[in-house]
Amino acid sequence: MAESASFEITLETCASIADIPQQDWQRLAGCSQPFLRYEFFQALESSGCTVPETGWTPSHLIFRINGEICGLAPGYLKTHSMGEYVFDWGWADAYQRHGLPYYPKLLIAVPFTPSQGSRLLLSDALRAKLTPQLLDDLLTRLTTQIGAHSWHLLFPNKADQALLHHDQELHRIGCQFHWHNRDYQSFDDFLGVLTSRKRKSIRKERRQVADQGIRFRHVHGRDISDQALSAFYVFYQATYLKRGRPPYLNKQFFEQLREAMPEHLHLILAVQEGEMIAGALFLAGEDTLYGRYWGCLEEYNHLHFETCYYQGIELALTLGLQHFDAGAQGEHKLVRGFEPILTHSWHGILHPGFREAIADFTREEADHVAGYFEDAEAALPFRQQEQD
């Protein structure tokens, strides 16, 4: 608890999104960002995707000023590190080798979603009162109170990052590849800014997909039929089963999204000879398209690139969106006009010895990622980079 002459800030957790009044969540998070919608977290919990049995015990954060809710954050008490996309398996292994528990840990993040955005849903009054040191103190105290050994805040936006910078920070950076709409009116406009070699390569890839007799069907919101959603879920499952593990999300979750958030959902299905053969589910926000969920049963030449990237770019153009976040990783996006961006996370490690060792690791990692980012920028396939 932090005190002053005029206000008292407290931080606590609750065991379910249902314990937070929906009007308070909407007041602080708004409704334009799909991954921050109250209904999104509701679907995760009620479908059984984020429950103690899956290692995701809801522990959402509630900030109060003088007892009034002035801030919220999606939080989970985690017993593993799956589904986070900021990898700390090495840290957990080091703890285990020294006979120390790494889990449970407090995770402040959107489950299974490596997309940057607001994580600290704060009122203007609270944001003005918080300092990075005060926030760190509050999070560290809370972590101890709930029996966790560390806290981790993943993929914050710039406003949240400003509250996380402090002298003792443990800050990690990563690199993703996103597409930006530079006032293009069509896909051909986008191709026009690429080097001739890359432009020809993309056209060849798209032509090879069409030559296989594959066409695409776009379905939006509640127009996504049970048949189409079931087919998509089979494809989505296959992506995980091919790697020997079950999917993070179940069919009930997607059904609930369709009912509760239909305005955000766009399903693109690949069809060959009248049969659905692959699918990608996108979520549209106020200015960004998010390409999150994909799958197919058999491999087709360039089908993944076409369905997830080129169809996604065309969808973003159709919707008038300025930005396309097609998911984590993927250097192959670079040669297709997706530009590198830096992502961020902050970590509060309670054990002093490991904190020092992890701080050294994060500094070395940051130097490597910064070099990688610069190399990626230099390799972008835009015409102004052609030498002749």
Region 226-235: mean pLDDT is 98
pLDDT computed for residue 58 by the predictor: 98
Quick: pLDDT tens for 233-281.
Answer: 999 999 999 889 999 999 999 999 999 999 999 999 999 999 999 999 9
- pLDDT bin (cut points 50, 70, 90) of residue 329 is confident
Quick: pLDDT tens for 116-150.
Answer: 999 999 999 999 999 999 999 999 999 999 999 99
The DSSP code sequence of 340-351 is EEEEEEEEEE-S
Region 86-105: mean pLDDT is 97
Q: Which domains does the chain show, CATH number per domain?
A: 2-173+342-378 (3.40.630.30), 182-321 (3.40.630.30)
pLDDT computed for residue 388 by the predictor: 33
Region 207-221: mean pLDDT is 98
Q: For residue 344, what are the β-bridge partners?
A: 173
pLDDT for residue 361 is more than 80: yes
Worst-scoring range by mean pLDDT, 220-229, 251-260, 279-288, 328-337?
Answer: 328-337
Quick: pLDDT tens for 340-350.
Answer: 999 999 999 99
pLDDT for residue 57 is more than 80: yes
> What is the radius of gyration, based on Cα positions, of the chain?
22
Helix H or strand E segment including 277? strand 275-284
- pTM for this predicted structure: 0.95
Look at phi and psi of residue 48 and say left if phi exceeds 0, alpha if psi is from -120 to 50, else beta. Answer: left
pLDDT for residue 46 is more than 90: yes
pLDDT for residue 195 is more than 90: yes
Question: What CA–CA distance (Å, rounded) separates 335 from 131?
Answer: 41
pLDDT computed for residue 292 by the predictor: 81
Region 380-387: mean pLDDT is 72
Worst-scoring range by mean pLDDT, 47-56, 100-109, 205-214, 242-251?
Answer: 242-251
pLDDT for residue 2 is more than 60: no
pLDDT computed for residue 385 by the predictor: 47
Task: Kindly give, in sequence order, each residue whose CB lies less than 8 Å from that of residue 171, ignoring residues fewer than 6 positions away.
Answer: 164, 165, 344, 345, 346, 347, 362, 366
Region 216-230: mean pLDDT is 98
Residues of the chain with pLDDT > 70, as a percent, come to 98
pLDDT for residue 196 is more than 80: yes
Cβ-based neighbour number of residue 181 at 10 Å: 18
Q: Mean of the per-residue pLDDT values for the chain?
A: 95
Question: What CA–CA distance (Å, rounded) separates 271 from 307?
Answer: 11
Written as six digits, the tokens of 185 are 């009116």
Quick: pLDDT tens for 286-312.
Answer: 999 999 899 999 999 999 999 999 999
